[in-house]
Chains A and B, each alone.
Chain A
Amino acid sequence: MPSLGLPIYGQKTALETRRWKSIDELAGRADAEPGEFPEGAAETPAGFSRRGFLQILGASAAFAGLACKPPREKLVPYVRKPEAVTPSVPVGYATARSDEGYAVGLVVQAFEGRPVKVEGNRLHPASLGGTDAITQAMVLDLYDPARLAGFTRGGRALAWSAVLQEIAALAREHDKDGGARLRFLVAPTSSPTVADLRRRLLERFPKARFDTWAPAGGDAAQRAGAAIALGRPLDATFEVAKADVILSLDSDFLATEGEHLRSAREFASRREGERMNRLYVAEPRFSVTGGMADHRFRMRGAEVAAFARAVAAELAQAGVAGLAPLGARAEGEHARAARAVAKDLAGARGRSLIVAGARQPPAVHALAAAMNEALGNVGPVVRWRAPVLVDPQAGPDALRALAAEVQAGKVDTLVVTAWNPLHTAPADLELRKVFGKVKNSMVLALRDDETVRAASWRLAASHPLESWGDLRSRDGTVTVVQPLISPLHESTTEVDLFAAFLGEGERGAWRLVRDGWRSRSGAPPAPLPLSGPAAASNPADTNRPRPPDPFDRTWDEWLAAGLLTESAGRPEDAKVDPARVADALGKLPAPAGGIELGFAPDYKVWDGRFLENAWLQELPDPITKLTWENAAHLSPATARRLGLESGELVELARGGRAVVAPVLVVPGHADDAVTVALGYGQRVAGAVGQGAGFDAYALRTSDAPWYAGGATLKKTGKTTELAITQGHFSMEGRAIALALDHEELPRAKAELDEHRGEAPTILQPVDYSEKDYRWGMAIDLSKCIGCSACTAACQAENNIPVVGKEQVLRSREMHWIRVDRYFEGPAEDPQSVTQPLACVHCEMAPCEYVCPVNATVHSDEGLNEMVYNRCVGTRYCSNNCPYKVRRFNFLDYHGDMAPTLQMLMNPDVTVRARGVMEKCTYCTQRIQRARIDARVGGRKIGPDEVVPACAQACPSEAIVFGNLNDARSRVSRKHADARRYDLLHELGTRPRTAYLVKLRNPNPELA
């Protein structure tokens, strides 16, 4: 195979030498000048003696004959094991990403060694094949040209070997007092390798400490609640599919909390058919989960506990034993709701679920645990599990203690692997002010940020797709994280860094992880190579013969599957102690008066770590459809009372701290409450995140991390334009995204028949029934949660450019599939319907006959194809598209791509030029790939063999694609469903994408 000049793992390429690392460097400014020698080679490491120099000199001579490269570590592809890389054929590798420390199993497609597209691993319990938008967008972070590269200490660039030396010297210093002045600030992780390293670090430095900080909370509140109720900090996993009645107490379990991908899949599986589940949600802001609720009770965050107690009281009333001391009857508007919910729950004992949200205090989690147990849900639906996180505590308390120590000058070395704590730390800890007191602040980070700027040691972190590691999911299943590409920039990982403190930095993460698992699996140590002692230093050198290692095969199987088979743990038995729950509930403070300020992790930038990810920035928020910034969400009534409108800038203040934030009026938000998304308004940001939103962390204090009373909003008299992709929330009474109550469906046949079937026409429609393939799609609105993973997946698969806030304000966003969100019912308290809408591939396509140059034409299989080369850009097709799903390259949106971003492009999809129209192709490149495979195999393409990116990403399997001429295909069955209808059927466009009516299952008692 000729060299394609593309990076292959373990090889340096011409590309890398051409790369520049920053604008400064390109312009030859600052200290970024690479100089004559490789980075770090020209500087003497601190604490470097003459003796050490001679050692290195000798070693250099000895190693000169060996390849100066990292070991060629063997990666194992997911399904197929090709003998060599075939150009243009992607290979999938199983790996995982960390979601608040837990594994989300992934299969990443790589073209010629370039990871291009992230998919979920169907075998992995936390993914089941689905992904979320953040996961889809992670590959953009990998290729971000603005990533941090290399290592510096006090402004001096260091090579990795020098870093290791200096860390070794530092570690020797700390040995003197057992690490009493050594602290680590880390992010939550479940990695067994990191756990081992941490254990060994604490053995070497018994007085050192690891503090974990998760700004978005993770499920720390759940574990604290379990500690109250069960006496142990246990994790909870849910079998959502087995629950008939679900009560969410401010939990966004379908989109962000817990195993949300799995929950969404299981929840959606019960949104059709006879045995539909029923979801009640009590929450302050409109969340994705709230959008799926059959009954949504909007209330301030601090009132959720009272509502939960009211439900408990009503449950006790309904005869559920053990809840009487925990309940408290409610007065007012939600009393009736609590009664109905309790009755419904009591009728579904052992088949119901109460899930408390990450933003609720532990006492509410404890109460939820008590109610689940009382209802007999523990076992069939709820399972307690031993925590897999290395450090179950991740709240502000540890951070507060650390800040106090730093303030007192008790910390000499602070190793920070948590993301940007200076930005995320509660404002009252004043971490920014005290951080400078640490002599050696060592920060490992993917990108330049505030903490990196303040640190004395700046270490570039490898992207997860460049790193070896391991992670576990909540049930204990282990996934070995394998890289897909050698680090694009000089960088390192947390594993390597911790090993460096143990003097094992040279071993490399691969060997640390692999050897750890070798010993855990009980396999014997690796046999030594057969010849020559020199080879021992490089056991991975494939040129030397080695005796067969029985562990190789196991390891390969693990890597190929993306998980360690049967590594899941067993559920734990635990009993609720009602007295302790009652005690905790009693200690809950009464809801504060005034306006309640609620904080929430953002659906896109999460706690802020994805602020620099342009795909996520431009992804419309699932509920508000806001892009490129955050806003202060208010209910219409509260906004009216305060005389505010969307886009007005207000001074949002609480407890002497204030920020200026734009108001966004969101229907369905709780009254007298304001919700702000975390993560925006970072002080140090790159080209993407600069000026995006306001810093909500500035208002957040450690005593009230999620809900705080006494907020004030003061008009500033200024306004701003919010880049919202969907200006109209109402369907204007048109039949667009149809939603029906479960009970109404049988009676709605006649009404639905108006939106499906043959439309009267004087034209003879083309008959596609004789063709081998008639591609079609079905989108089940009942299952769509609106998470927008499809939009992100499409962006990654189809090389869709990001256009920026200005262009979004001009309605020029390029997403091929958008998720429309409509509100129904009263503006104060509406229900929502989400509707993914891409090109529906009309058989009688209005776009086709108006194109003057035949640039959009029909294939014989009925695809509405877009021929970019023919397009001259009249835009007539878009004008005539009733669905308005066509996207036009008004400007040269791709521009001159950085070399790394060029590597991101999917080689199967044209990168469109300026002045060209584009739109959803049903992932025609995937159809073609399947066609090639089928032809090679001498067979037809299977009924469900082709999966477009949107359908593949969808966590709830709302999108189904396949061959409509094959009755066995899932899409054929969906098209024949009683709920099927065609969007804008009356126009006679004969769309190939059919929609299935959203069903709701309201409680008749609350009607």
Chain B
Amino acid sequence: MSTAEKTIQDAHALEGAPVLVGRPDDRALTESLLSPVLGPTRKGWLLLLFALLGGVGFWTLSLVTTLFVGIGAWGNNIPVAWAFDITNFVWWIGIGHAGTLISAILLLFQQKWRTSINRFAEAMTLFAVAMAGVYPVIHLGRPWLFWWLIPYPSTNLIWPNFKSALPWDVFAISTYATVSFLFWYLGLIPDLATLRDAAKTRGRRIVYGIMSFGWRGSARHWRHYRIGYLLLAGLSTPLVVSVHTIVSFDFAISQLPGWHTTIFPPYFVAGAIFSGFAMVLTLMIPARRLLGYQHVVTERHLDNMAKVILATGLMVFYGYMMEWFMAWYSGSASEAFAFLNRFQGPYRGIFIAQMFCNVVAPQILWFPSMRRNEYVLFLVAILVNVGMWAERFVIIAVSLHRDFIPSSWGMYYPTWVDWGLFLGSICMFGVLFLLFLRFLPAIPLFEVKELRRELEHYGDNAHPGSEEEG
């Protein structure tokens, strides 16, 4: 019987949704949380890795095809010059919002329940941003010239056009990726040191030793760590809002009906958090089961995240309603048509899927029992992921396919390369995640240990998140 199962069994039966099940000691926590890293390679993990690597092969083939054949390998056309490419980009970037939100904003708000899931969410953020970052480059007609979007003192004295939202994207995304990475890595350092100390082979000790930058856990180290972590949290917080705001500007600054909307920044940010939390749940629910993390990632976490999904889902729905209202209220025929076309046009199936997944499905989370039901939550999370992808497709491709001049209307149909780049990126994301689970501590050890002490001190029913009591 593993430590994890024992601690769960030992838990008091009447305790309601704790943030930490039982009171495992430090050794038990180290053992249980590091076992996926230090333990032997599991067959299931290997099997999953190879399955996903197959998908990565498809992804690579699609990438190579795109680079050698050109954008013509996709289904994009005139009028639908952006389709799966930018849809996937916005989808991944949106997913990449949960990590920083959980780590930074919830840290600043002293939400202690974040501790056991923050690293997991941050890793997901990084990988999602990495996946997102591929599209803006490969969607260019001449991707080898992507660096022309970066302002650098070039000899021809031409700078990027700062009026365009695309150079803003370059800044927003590269900043976000950098800060997210630093934040994540900084949080990893104490645990890397634990790994170094617990590692059984010399090779691991060296690798983890280098990665932990000589962390010894001295009071001085902890003091610097605390300051640095808080500063980065402060730095990341505005980024959570800014990145998707700027991504939404890609559309909002244009004059295309369906894109040209001032509500886009808040609506996109809400949508990003919505989809990000859904993706965290999608990954977390199976991972906690398979890796035996139920005692640290408890029903309480699931419940809280479900609440965030419900809340942001309602915000997104408000965004939809505002769009429809403005389409009618603006009196612009093309604006009204763009929205009617979503309901009635040839892509209405995708619109219906969007509405069902994003608006109808999350409503089940009003029921507490549903919020704690892994299966229901997992299903809702998957649906939200699908729904948010559909939303981006509807905004991007469906707005483009019929705009002002009916003679230019067209249809977009994806090719296998489009599918390869979409599904393949999910596989690549999965591979990165599997590697993360195998080689790095997915649950921040030291924070959970800290949390246990706080809980011991104040008791479970105190509010560990509040300043006075915590």
A residues contacting B by CB (< 8 A) are: 726-728, 730-734, 736, 807, 810-812, 818, 820-822, 835, 837, 846, 849-854, 870-876, 878-880, 882-884, 886-892, 913-917, 983-984, 987
Contacts and interface: CB of A to CB of B under 8 A. Distances in A.
B161 A890 contact: no
Given A887-B78, A888-B71, A846 B407 contact: no
B407 A822 contact: yes
B410 A915 contact: no
Instruction: Identify whether the interface residues of A are mostly helix, strand, loop, or mixed.
Output: loop
Contacts of B333: 733-734
Nearest to B404: A882
B141 A916 contact: yes
B141 A875 contact: yes
A993 to B, nearest CB: 13
B255 A884 contact: no
Interface residues of B, number: 51
A849 B163 CA distance: 6
Contact of B142 (A736, A822, A915, A987): A915
Contacts of B161: 849, 851-854
B72 A891 contact: yes
Contact of A811 (B79, B164, B403): B79
A686 B43 CA distance: 58
Given A734-B334, A878-B79, 6 more contacts: A732-B337, A854-B161, A871-B141, A873-B71, A882-B256, A915-B71
A892 B406 CA distance: 28
A956 B193 CA distance: 83
8 contacts: A736-B407, A846-B255, A871-B142, A875-B71, A876-B81, A890-B72, A890-B76, A914-B142
Interface in B35-85: 69-72, 75-82
Given A812-B78, A850-B254, A852-B149, A870 B158 contact: yes
A878 B334 CA distance: 17
A726 B170 CA distance: 36
A609 B101 CA distance: 68
Given A873-B140, A878-B78, A726 B70 contact: no
Contacts of A916: 141-142
Nearest to A812: B77
Contacts of B133: none
Contacts of A811: 77-80, 410-411
Contact of B70 (A734, A876, A914): A914
User: Which of B70, B139, B334 has its CB near the most chain A CB atoms (within 10 A)?
Assistant: B70
B160 A872 contact: no
B164 A888 contact: no
Given A850-B254, A852-B149, A888-B81, A873 B141 contact: yes
Contacts of A854: 158-161
Interface in B101-142: 139-142
A75 to B, nearest CB: 42
Contacts of A736: 405-407
Interface of B: 69-72, 75-82, 139-143, 145-146, 148-149, 158-161, 163-167, 170, 250, 253-256, 259, 333-334, 337, 400, 403-411, 413
Contact of A846 (B69, B254, B406, B408): B254
B330 to A, nearest CB: 12
Contacts of B142: 871-873, 913-916
A620 to B, nearest CB: 10
Nearest to A857: B161
The 7 closest A-B pairs by CB, nearest first: A873-B141, A915-B141, A891-B72, A890-B72, A884-B408, A875-B81, A852-B166
A917 B164 CA distance: 17
A1004 B142 CA distance: 59
Nearest to B169: A852
Nearest to A733: B333
A875 B71 CA distance: 11
A874 B75 CA distance: 15
A871 B82 CA distance: 16
A821 B80 CA distance: 21
Nearest to B253: A850
Contacts of B146: 872
A890 B77 contact: yes
A880 B72 contact: no
Nearest to B137: A872
Contact of B404 (A821, A849, A875, A883): A883
A889 B78 CA distance: 10
A837 B259 CA distance: 24
Nearest to B164: A852
Contacts of A891: 69-70, 72
B82 A879 contact: yes
B145 A872 contact: yes
A493 to B, nearest CB: 41
Specify which of A733, A849, A870, A874 lies most central, judged by the most chain B CB atoms within 10 Å of its CB: A874
A882 B257 CA distance: 10
Contact of B256 (A727, A835, A849, A879): A879
Given A837-B405, A871-B141, A884-B405, A853 B149 contact: yes
A837 B405 CA distance: 10
B141 A914 contact: yes
A812 B158 contact: no
B82 A875 contact: yes
A804 to B, nearest CB: 11
A728 B79 contact: no
Contacts of B148: 852-853, 870, 872
B289 to A, nearest CB: 43
A812 B409 CA distance: 12
Contacts of A820: 405, 407
A882 B403 contact: yes
B407 A837 contact: yes
A983 B408 CA distance: 14
Q: Give the residue among A734, A736, A850 with the most B Cβ atoms within 10 A.
A: A850
Contacts of A730: 406
A347 B15 CA distance: 102
A851 B164 contact: yes
A727 B409 contact: yes
A268 B409 CA distance: 30
Nearest to A846: B255
Given A736-B405, A846-B254, A852-B149, A872 B79 contact: no
Nearest to A850: B164
B66 to A, nearest CB: 11
B149 to A, nearest CB: 5
A818 to B, nearest CB: 7
B158 A878 contact: no
A919 to B, nearest CB: 10
Residue from the set B141, B165, B167, B334 with the largest chain A CB neighbour count within 10 Å: B141
A728 B71 contact: no
